[in-house]
Structure 1
């Protein structure tokens, strides 16, 4: 059934979507990237379902979202993301009184095998970080990788660091103030090797620093173009060094974060401590590393125990 005034209906739907995105950004404090992704997902769903009005959305339509995703060859994770975004948006419309009930609430997510995070072992990490350079790019890259691995930082947390986020403490050495998801801040101690790499980089940074009036003047990690280093640039530099150090596998900044979590948990067995260091809101997110740890122990057992050896 079509509404009497399609243009008025579209304008109303646009307003509702804008209100929802505003709530995500302001009240839920989601990142601009996440909010933009939510907008794309909802507009894509509406277009593919050929909906002229969100009020007409049915449970059958919500099930079609899964079917359409399968036909498009989307992964289970991508399909479930669309369903989650749609379910949350519908709940928002229920709260406003625009919908009487949430049509996506009873639709079950697609089953998916949760992949374990990839990580490097200690020897591989040492091989990656063993390069020695005295030029600006080399010193900067070494400081970045040592900091990510030494503190378990997310990619956006590293590129978002400013000079003032480095804290000098007389007794315990350097630490870094990190702004994570939801603008939550945490302070993480910086280890000896990461501190040394940072000091070496900071000694040369001023030669390439942007003028004080520029927007990126306070950025900790900058490019030769005197701009804050972007996520894409950082990822490309890591890929360069992985190949240069002959590590025959694809490595992302998140690989270093996963390696940090795995190695600290293996040594400390302190799950809640690792949760705090990683900035995870829920312990269940950190618990994936207990499965990694168990997988590592299982491999040792299979190789070493006489009753486990296969003929």
Structure 2
């Protein structure tokens, strides 16, 4: 018995059913409680019709490793999506044997390919309703890059930038949609809005994840910026200012994309939809860990190594540069001491040459978002 998953070669040749009899010997999986793992077993029986006995055993070995990982992480097959698959690949790349060595690339590649084949079959057989085959393929293709970054660092690791110039910030926000919304405009729009909200308000990653839909304000048309309540560190509330153009896009996402997800989920489990503004296709709120991985992928796409806090620093730097209002910025950032704001943003702002106004700054971002949506 290994971690609750056991593989046994079952001889079907004695079956009285002719089509079953033709299967001969096929590896089959059982849980620790001797429960049949039906999807995995059905997959192995399907593969037995096209693979040699040796190849079938190899396929079973790769699938067993994936099933063990699912068991250890308490993930059921029906809940798997491309992020779960990505986490499995990262676990393979980070795995250390008893002697401290990691797995070879050949092993990681073979196990990734084995899990990918099973997941594509499972998706086509209605076992993985959340998994998009095209996204799963992209995740599988990223395995070598993850392996190299985790195991074979050929050059010094770059520190994430704390501040992005305008063009870099806009390109990075675009990438948040490009790398995750190839087959789903709803996902693309949501991820772009997550980045835009950080960039245009200075919100922290945890604040964006936890921001409740109930705190999204109605647009105040007489203003260019609408005040909103934001609960930050230590449960302390502050006021942030959301540009009206961005706020309109947030309401469009809420009324259309988010509501479509909610309607689908309510049919099966009405109590599982998170009250947060941004939710996954399963109805749960986005997590900081998920957004950090999204930023890592966007960094690989743009070659801009940035983290979510980079957008907060970018907002603070440009706000001071274009407004020269240290007290106002301190309140927007949620700093108790204005010296903290001075320390983080004034020095950077003095080194940045940017002739514009803060209104134009927001307008340019809004225009860029409009281009992405179109």
- Cross-structure match for 2:313: 258
1:185 pairs with one of 237, 259, 271: 237
- Cross-structure match for 2:214: 164
Equivalent residues in 2 for 1:81-230, closer than 5 Å: 118-130=162-174, 135-170=185-220, 171-172=222-223, 174-202=226-254, 203-209=256-262, 210-211=265-266, 213-214=270-271, 216-230=273-287
SS of equivalent to 1:159: helix
SS of equivalent to 2:238: strand
Deviation at 1:281, TM superposition (A): 1.1
Q: Against the structure 1 CA distance between its residues 226 and 116, is the aligned structure 2 distance closer, same or farther, given a 3 Å change threshold?
A: closer
Deviation at 1:196, TM superposition (A): 4.1
Q: Against the structure 1 CA distance between its residues 140 and 120, is the aligned structure 2 distance closer, same or farther, given a 3 Å change threshold?
A: same
Worse-matched range after superposition: 164-173 or 124-133: 124-133
For 1:235 and 1:217, locate their aligned partners in 2 and report how far apart those are by CA, in whole Å: 20
Partners of 2:319 and 2:329 within 8 A in 1: yes
For 1:120 and 1:195, locate their aligned partners in 2 and report how far apart those are by CA, in whole Å: 23
Gaps of 5+ in 1: 1-114, 298-311
For 2:160 and 2:189, locate their aligned partners in 1 and report how far apart those are by CA, in whole Å: 32
**Aligned Cα RMSD in Å?**
2.5
SS of equivalent to 2:281: coil
Question: Cα deviations across residues 87-119 of structure 1 (Å, max 9, x unaligned)?
Answer: xxxxxxxxxxxxxxxxxxxxxxxxxxxx99711
SS of equivalent to 2:352: helix
- Structure 1 segments, 4+ long, off by >6 Å, are none
Question: Cα deviations across residues 117-161 of structure 1 (Å, max 9, x unaligned)?
Answer: 711011111222346766121011011111110100011111011
Question: Cα deviations across residues 168-214 of structure 1 (Å, max 9, x unaligned)?
Answer: 14333644311011211122221144224313422211111254852
Deviation at 1:224, TM superposition (A): 1.7
Question: Cα deviations across residues 67-94 of structure 1 (Å, max 9, x unaligned)?
Answer: xxxxxxxxxxxxxxxxxxxxxxxxxxxx
1:267 pairs with one of 313, 322, 325: 322
Partners of 2:326 and 2:342 within 8 A in 1: yes
Equivalent residues in 2 for 1:6-25, closer than 5 Å: none
Q: Against the structure 1 CA distance between its residues 116 and 227, is the aligned structure 2 distance closer, same or farther, given a 3 Å change threshold?
A: closer
- Cross-structure match for 1:293: 349
SS of equivalent to 2:313: helix
For 1:176 and 1:215, locate their aligned partners in 2 and report how far apart those are by CA, in whole Å: 26
Partners of 1:120 and 1:256 within 8 A in 2: yes
Deviation at 1:217, TM superposition (A): 3.0
Could you tell me the TM-score, scaled by structure 1's length? Answer: 0.53
1:231 pairs with one of 276, 280, 288: 288
For 1:295 and 1:274, locate their aligned partners in 2 and report how far apart those are by CA, in whole Å: 18
Q: How many residues align?
A: 181
Could you tell me the TM-score, scaled by structure 2's length? Answer: 0.44
Q: Against the structure 1 CA distance between its residues 214 and 142, is the aligned structure 2 distance closer, same or farther, given a 3 Å change threshold?
A: same
Partners of 1:146 and 1:193 within 8 A in 2: no
Q: Against the structure 1 CA distance between its residues 183 and 276, is the aligned structure 2 distance closer, same or farther, given a 3 Å change threshold?
A: same
